[in-house]
Structure 1
Amino acid sequence: MDSDPGPSRRGTSWYEPASLDHDPFTHSAVFYRDEPEYLAHTVPFILDGQAAGEPVAVAVPGPNLRAIQDEVGIRGGRVDEVRWLDMTKAGRNPGRIIPGVLRAFADQHTDRRARIIGEPIWPGRSSSEYPACVQHEALINAAFLGREVTILCPYDAQGLDPVVLADAAATHPIMVDGDRWWRSRDYAPEQVVDAYNTPLTEPASAQEHAVAADQLPLIRRWARQRAAQAGVETDRLDDVTFVVNELVTNSIEHGTGNPRVLAWTTKDAVVFQTTNAGTIPDPLVGRLPATPGQIRGRGLLATNLLTDLVRIHRSDDRTTIRVHFHRAGHPR
């Protein structure tokens, strides 16, 4: 087995990975090409965890979830003791996965090591979702630094683009393929976050609403109407109103330089976007569970938890936040 330690990436920025020999957190990418390979890695991972008395959660797409459940039961595992989540629902918005899935489970078991299988990238993820997916995989390493948690991320080596597999090597310190494992020479999560921090351009059809404190009631009404007209389900209109109000309020309170709010409709979603001259230097803001007494970051956390996709572009002097709410009949 190749045990190449890979490049050292220590520094004083937001991300400072510990040595693989000393950090209790383990984050591995496993490549699979068919169901037998998939089960050969995931099921023993679960059974070994149960044998060690470790709590286990599995968050993968529905068909894979059912295959794992069946095999765990066949092999005598305790199916009812595993937290099972369909990642196409729980993790449709990649920004929701760390606070709403991974940390939500691990933080309930701080007295012992926890095991989690998470498959946030599957064939069929859209080009709009993928940049948020790969940034999520990179940020896991910072979100769990020093924690006694083991996370295994399956990657469909047959169905995914080679670029996705290459990115997996940059976001996971440990790689697994068949019976081989190695330490990734390409591990560079901070660089991945920066590489996918690409500008967000709006379509010519985008409608802009004036932004000012006295415009907030009108903006809330406008956002709700836009969502309803686009076909967003009625039970989600309160979420739309809350999120747009939160983003615009933050633009007014914390930003400068003519903040903007835009809206447009795509074939599967209604999209809102705010831009202001403020900055969010830490890419983990809004991706960690709130702590008691926390003041900053709750609005972006709620945005991640309530929307179907969040994209953020940070520059030295401006921040753009784009949120998607799926229309009825499209994945939520």
Structure 2
Amino acid sequence: MLVHQALLFDTAAAFLAAAVPFVTEGVRRGDAVLAVTSGEHAELLREHLDGADERAITFLPAAGWFDSPGRTLNAHHRRIDALPGPSGILRVLGEPVWSGLDALETAEWGRYESVLNVALAGSRAWLMCGYDCDALPPAVIDDARHTHPALAVGTGSAASPGYADPATYYAEHDGPLQPRPVHGVVWLPEFHDMAPVRQFVADHAVRLGMPPDRLDDFTLAVNEVATNSVRHGAGNGEVRLWSTERRVTCEIVDRGRAAANFLGFLRADPNGERGHGLWIARQICDLLEMRSGASGTTVRLHVRRAV
């Protein structure tokens, strides 16, 4: 059964008071234990572990693990799937990377933290997510109380009084998409099949800043979402591409309506016929936004620009 806690700390001692018992108990139980923290806190943790415990823990860099919401969610699934026995669990001492994010990235990582409670519900996982109250903006700390059902308190746990039901949180964060740029947007006004869409992406994405080695995967993601427009929308759609200083964005718009929550965040049933396209797109893209209503559905696929 999933346990998802926020560890709110303002001193190294407060971090260690919860983190050390969490990982050492996992080692004693034979759990799969990951420490995915900042370099500073990884070294601090190592200093307070004996050699046997340290060797039993997998230390991973936070920037690699918290790479994109979709890929991070799937990384949890893969680790849970690989658990060797029926009693062990995956324990992750994580420290999400909030520094350097813009407003869109911050909002989507907050959405990820909330959706985890649905996507991993029933999974054999215990996630303790560290938030440095001295280093992070107050809004991020406040949001942690909304997205985590429990707070880590020393070696214990307490219900988070601010916890929001994920469906409610998801709906509240489905505000209007940011306006498209005034200039530099290229447009495919209508498509009914995938060949023109793939050619459109091939013609423009790299020129707009797409890393060339990501073009094929990005084209696949766009193809999957555009296919949904044809199959489940009104049978057609339109595509736009543009870039900003941080990202290349592809927007796909159709006149259909998607009623379900958490689309693309919930791993598709391998035996089912639906849900695979958006799940694949979330794995490929760095961010995926989706809004759907009476006027239609808009999906935005974002990939970081080439450096």
Q: Which TM-score band applies after superposition, normalised by the shorter structure? A: 0.7 to 0.9
**In 2, Cα distance between the equivalents of 1:77 and 1:325?**
41
Contact (CA 8 Å) 2:8, 2:130: kept in 1 or not? yes
Give the whole-Å Cα distance in 1 for the aligned partners of 2:153 and 2:242: 43
Report the alpha carbon displacement of residue 75 of structure 1 after superposing the two structures with TM.
2.2
Q: 2-side partners of 1:45 and 1:142: how far apart?
A: 23
Name the residue aligned to 2:269. Answer: 291
Q: What TM-score, normalized by structure 2, do the two folds share?
A: 0.87
User: Are 1:212 and 2:191 matched, yes or no?
Assistant: yes
Q: Mean alpha-carbon deviation: is it higher for 175-184 or for 298-307? A: 175-184
1:28 and 2:5 matched:
yes
Does the Cα contact within 8 Å between 1:255 and 1:278 map onto a contact in 2? yes
Deviations 1:163-222 (A, max 9, x none): 2222111111111356774212221133211111112132222222123225x3232122
**2:33 aligned residue (56, 75, 79):** 56
User: Is the Cα contact below 8 Å between 2:27 and 2:33 reproduced in 1?
Assistant: yes
Q: 1:97 aligns with which of 62, 65, 72?
A: 72
Amino acid of the structure 2 residue aligned with 1:197: D
Q: Following TM superposition, by how much is the alpha carbon of 1:49 offset from its aligned partner in structure 2, in angstroms? A: 0.2
For structure 1, list consecutive stretches of 5 or more residues without a partner in the other structure. Answer: 1-23
**Equivalent in 128, 131, 145 of residue 169 of structure 1:** 145
Q: CA deviation at 1:64?
A: 4.9
TM-score, length basis structure 1: 0.81
After TM superposition, list the pairs within 5 Å mapping 1:134-153 onto structure 2.
134-153=110-129
2:50 equivalent in structure 1:
75
Cα deviation code 1:253-298 (max 9, x no counterpart): 2112862211111112211111223333333332233433132111
1:300 partnered with 2:278: yes
Q: Distance in 1 between matches of 2:35 and 2:197?
A: 40
**Displacement of 1:118 after TM fit?**
2.9
The 1:233/1:68 distance shift into structure 2, 3 A limit, reads: farther
| Partner amino acid, structure 2, of 1:38 | F
Q: CA deviation at 1:139?
A: 1.1
Tell me by how many angstroms 1:65 deviates. 6.7
Which stretches in structure 2 are left out of the alignment for 5+ residues?
none
For 1:226-267, what per-residue CA distance to the aligned partner results, in whole angstroms no more than 9, with x for missing partners?
221133322111112111122222112211286221111111
Indicate the residue corresponding to 1:323 in structure 2: 301
SS in 2 for 1:280: coil
In the TM superposition, what whole-angstrom CA distance separates every residue of 1:37-60 from its partner, at most 9, and x where no partner exists?
A: 434432331111011111122334
- Tell me which of 203, 228, 231 is aligned to 2:206: 228
Query: Cα 1:158–1:180, aligned 2, differ >3 Å: closer, same or farther?
Result: farther
2:92 matched residue in structure 1: 116
Q: CA RMSD in A?
A: 2.5
CA distance in 2, matches of 1:34, 1:225: 52
Separation (CA, whole Å) in 2 of partners of 1:143 and 1:39: 29
Count of matched residue pairs: 302
Percent of aligned pairs sharing the same letter: 29
Q: Structure 2: which amino acid aligns with 1:88?
A: A
For 2:238, which of 260, 269, 272 is the aligned residue? 260
Q: Given residue 77 of structure 2, which amino acid in structure 1 is its aligned partner?
A: R
Post-superposition offset of 1:128:
1.1
Q: Partners of 2:10 and 2:279 in 1: how far apart? A: 35
Contact 2:286 2:302 in 1 (8 A): yes
Aligned to 1:85: 60
